[in-house]
Amino acid sequence: MNYFESLTWVDAVKDAADILIVSFLIYKVMQLIRGTRAVPLIKGILLLVVTWALSTWLNLYTLRWLMNQIFTFGIVTILIIFQPELRRALEQLGRGRLFSRTFHSEDQDVQFRIHEVIKAVNYLSRRKIGALIVFERETGLSDYSDTGIKMESHLSAELLINVFIPNTPLHDGAVIIRGPQIVAAGCYLPLSENPFISKELGTRHRAGIGITEVSDAISIIVSEETGTVSLAIGGQLVHDIQEESLISKLFEELRPAAKARGVDWKRFWKREEGERGG
């Protein structure tokens, strides 16, 4: 009698619950490490596992011995390498945030981000101070944040304003925001190659559009000449957008409900990706 013939409905429920719990735990771990240096390290570990499997299958004794030595000390090495991620996971678990994060709390985070950015944009617009602010979403922008100055600072309107003050080291570039953090400033983004963009738009606007053409990011551009505010999404630019419309569109695009429509697994691991511009 095989396993399935002897399977009762109680056993089936237990097995289903077991699979769901393990899948959920794996998904939360993936969320935790996404966009961190752990991603390329995990790829490296998978490469070592594949190499070990091939050495075993092909009876490559020397290579298999080397892989065994690496795995012998691997656990300690992993604990050292992933120490920041493990600490963050334990902190979130202790605060009850790892599994209990709700759409309501995420809505509050989105409202906070939008409030701080709009406050800064209004200040910059009134004084005709040029600015380029990018919201990272599912597609990672780390390649582009690496072109600027790392900040990893708590998001605030005052800090955004200071970054874009003319003749300061970071004003001539883009600010990239990831969640409640300013990841980097003075970043270079790819310029749009769309031939139909108005010739009146300068490099800042073309960079703001360009980043949205190669990713799902959202960018806000403040014109240095006129002080007008523009919004770029999906390669499309809304020029001279009003504050109410800007707030509404940002909340629509950034709110948790928009993310909950589905997980794009092709983009899930790409938080390490980004754009150039200035």
Alpha-carbon gap, residue 152 to 36, rounded angstroms: 12
Mean pLDDT on 157-176? 92
* pLDDT tier at 241, thresholds 50, 70, 90: very high
User: What residue ranges do the domains of the chain occupy?
Assistant: 35-100, 103-272
Out of 22-26, 94-98, 185-189, pick the least confident: 94-98
* Contact in structure between 39 and 272 (CB atoms under 8 Å): yes
Task: Report the side by side order of strands in the sheet with 218-222.
Answer: 149-154, 181-187, 174-178, 131-135, 218-222, 229-233, 236-238
pLDDT, the chain, mean: 80
CATH no. of 103-272: 3.40.1700.10
For the full predicted model, state whether its pTM sits above 0.75.
no
pLDDT at 125 over 90: yes
**What is the distance, to the nearest Å, from the Cα of residue 89 to the centroid of all Cα atoms in its chain?**
17
Give, in order, the Cα–Cα distances in Å from 87 to each of 35, 94, 97, 130, 158. 16, 10, 14, 39, 30
pLDDT digits (tens, 9 = 90+) for 168-212: 888 889 999 998 899 999 999 999 988 888 888 889 999 999 999
